[in-house]
Structure 1
Amino acid sequence: MKNSQKTPHTGTAAQNTVAVQLLRKRRNEVPVSGWRVLTRRLGWLGIASAIVIAIVVLLAILAPVVAPYDPYAGSVTARHEAWSLAHLMGTDQSGRDILSRIIWGARSSLIGPLIVILGTATMGTVLALTAVWFGGKVDAFIGRILDILFAFPNMLLAILAVAIFGPSIVTAAIALAIGYTPYTARVIRSVALRERNLPYVTSAQLQGISGLVITLRHILPNVRTQILTGMTINFGYAMIDLAALSFLGLGVQPPTPDWGLMVSNGQSSLQQGFWEQSIFAGLAIVITVAAFGYVGEQLGGRRAAGRTR
């Protein structure tokens, strides 16, 4: 009779572990799975922002096909031409087609931020998961490193790197990736720490599964939403910072087409009444950054990227 009586909490450790894993899997898949759920989360404005991002990416990929002119080819007789069917956005001070340079400029304007967010996500995730798993002195040591990086403004790190290694989009992007890492690591650590203390991790340890396997197969998938959301939001911040560096002449160097550099090059022409180059390049930056920022906000908010500004 005693064996037949069961309390409400009966169940083997394996059954409890499976139940917890299924619950966690279901909870984490709800925000990101399914087209219908995704569109409802983004809203119509978020969908429009995603379409803008897709268009910019396609233009960058298909630039040799869709650009009407060679972005480097200029003409002395075609300087500062107004809008026309031949040049939909006019020409710059060197007679180069502005529309073609904006289309080609999407490449450098996207590649730089891509380097930043990939580097940031990699370094931030590795540091956060290492700190969470080992804890103790390791966690404290990594925390001190992140505190030191917090003390340096992102742009200051980028300017110092450019001053040492020379102007380059890659140099500036790597420096910004290091500067962005504390924001990403802080958020991922907080989420991963909660996962680390759940029963299914303890159960996996008791079964003899190594910490690396538990981290990669269980903890990392449960923080992927924060990682992806942070990458989306940080992309916009990186694009602004890199455009500012190019504007100052510390990023992309002429005659390479770049939106930030085009804003700088067109600045002198504004006083002469030729505003097309600066305005159109500036609008490209604003629209693209707004699109990335809004999609990131809808997916997880600024806190998912560790940003509060």
Structure 2
Amino acid sequence: MTQQKFTRKPSTNTTSQDTVAVQLLRKQRGDVPVTGWRVVAKRLGPIGIVCLGVILVVVLMAALAPVIAPYDPYEGSVTARHEAWSLAHLMGTDQSGRDILSRIIWGARTSLIGPLLVIVITAVLATVLALTAVWFGGRVDAFISRILDILFAFPNMLLAILAVAIFGPSLLTASIALAIGFTPYSARVIRSVALRERNLPYVSSAQLQGISGFIITARHILPNVRTQILTGMTINFGYAMIELAALSFLGLGVQPPTADWGLMVSNGQASLQQGYWEQSIFAGLAIVITVAAFGYVGEQLGGRRAAGRTR
């Protein structure tokens, strides 16, 4: 009787095997994407959950402003100037007799829309530049890196002031300028993570199967860097809110009579010297609390390096 030899056929599903191996390796080194409420809650902790609640309250306040605001934020009264706290005006009134609480509620809209524009534009630009540089490499990578190095030389506020000086003061102009200034920070981090993914075996396996570079980047590399993108957006939201509020304070962002927290701090400056502190203090507290909530959530989910901010 002759012994029959059995030979193991090589598996044709190398992509799935490589992907499983990569996922196991990623789990061992703790680089697991933040998904699922339990995972998020565990990372945030009690303070982080409170901060997440603050963010939710601010978002709902902005969305439901026409319903929950007790007064018209733009309607004032000469006889109601600088009224103190009361049941009629829980935060008092400003120098034009407008209800401060109503303006705080309506101001949440512009104070959230501006930073949202900044982080969305930043995420798109940074992701496209980083993934293009990683996939093509060589001269393309060097060219994109030089562009990012040039942008690093310009402070964000300087770019915004230059843009406002050229195109005029507006929320859109300031948001686009800040997004361009934020791009190199996010692109640097996304590029480093994407470069690590680019060199893993499953990418080479997919290339051998004839899958195009665009498909590999969109279906495999991009999902594996989404954690850095999302946490970077969360942290950058706080930076964007502070800098847009500063531009509005200087008169280069949101223009009066629009309700905006940064603009309210500026408008209440003169009244603050006369002893009427409500407008500036309440608007400033709204900015501080919201920025702190976004910053803490971002730090707990991904850390400051996810936004490229190490300073």
**Same fold at TM > 0.5:** yes
Corresponding residue of 1:18: 16
Unaligned residue ranges in structure 1 (runs of 5+): none
Query: In 2, distance between residues paired with 1:294 and 1:85?
Result: 34
Corresponding residue of 2:77: 75
Task: From 190, 196, 199, give the equivalent of 1:194.
Answer: 196
Number of equivalences = 305
Could you report, residue by residue, the CA deviation over 1:182-236 in whole angstroms, capped at 9, with x for unpaired residues? 0010000000000000000000000000000000000000000000000000000
Query: In 2, distance between residues paired with 1:102 and 1:23?
Result: 51
Corresponding residue of 1:257: 259
User: Is 1:59 paired with 2:61?
Assistant: yes
Query: In 2, distance between residues paired with 1:295 and 1:24?
Result: 28
Q: Which amino acid aligns with 2:310?
A: T
- Does the Cα contact within 8 Å between 1:184 and 1:306 map onto a contact in 2? yes
- Does the Cα contact within 8 Å between 2:14 and 2:205 map onto a contact in 1? no
Could you report, residue by residue, the CA deviation over 1:87-141 in whole angstroms, capped at 9, with x for unpaired residues? 0000000000000000000000000000000000000000000000000000000
Query: In 2, distance between residues paired with 1:117 and 1:13?
Result: 43
Percent identity among equivalent residues? 80
Corresponding residue of 2:227: 225
Pair 298,3 (structure 1): closer, same or farther in 2 beyond 3 Å: farther
Corresponding residue of 2:302: 300
- Does the Cα contact within 8 Å between 1:159 and 1:250 map onto a contact in 2? yes
- Does the Cα contact within 8 Å between 2:33 and 2:224 map onto a contact in 1? no
Q: CA deviation at 1:75?
A: 0.2
Q: Which amino acid aligns with 2:290?
A: T
Query: In 2, distance between residues paired with 1:188 and 1:131?
Result: 11
Pair 33,69 (structure 1): closer, same or farther in 2 beyond 3 Å: same
Q: CA deviation at 1:32?
A: 1.6
Q: CA deviation at 1:31?
A: 4.1
Query: In 1, distance between residues paired with 2:172 and 2:97?
Result: 29
Corresponding residue of 1:93: 95
Corresponding residue of 1:36: 38
Q: Secondary structure at the match of 1:152?
A: coil
CA root-mean-square deviation: 1.6
Unaligned residue ranges in structure 2 (runs of 5+): none
Q: CA deviation at 1:4?
A: 3.9
Q: TM-score, length-normalised on structure 2?
A: 0.95
Pair 14,294 (structure 1): closer, same or farther in 2 beyond 3 Å: farther
Q: CA deviation at 1:16?
A: 4.2
Task: From 145, 154, 161, give the equivalent of 1:159.
Answer: 161
Q: Secondary structure at the match of 1:251?
A: coil
Q: CA deviation at 1:22?
A: 2.4
Q: Which amino acid aligns with 2:102?
A: S
- Does the Cα contact within 8 Å between 1:13 and 1:203 map onto a contact in 2? no
Q: Secondary structure at the match of 2:85?
A: coil
Query: In 1, distance between residues paired with 2:68 and 2:238?
Result: 25
Pair 163,99 (structure 1): closer, same or farther in 2 beyond 3 Å: same
Task: From 276, 279, 291, give the equivalent of 2:278.
Answer: 276
Q: Which amino acid aligns with 1:147?
A: D
Corresponding residue of 1:126: 128
Task: From 235, 239, 243, give the equivalent of 2:245.
Answer: 243
Query: In 1, distance between residues paired with 2:116 and 2:268?
Result: 26
Q: CA deviation at 1:37?
A: 1.5
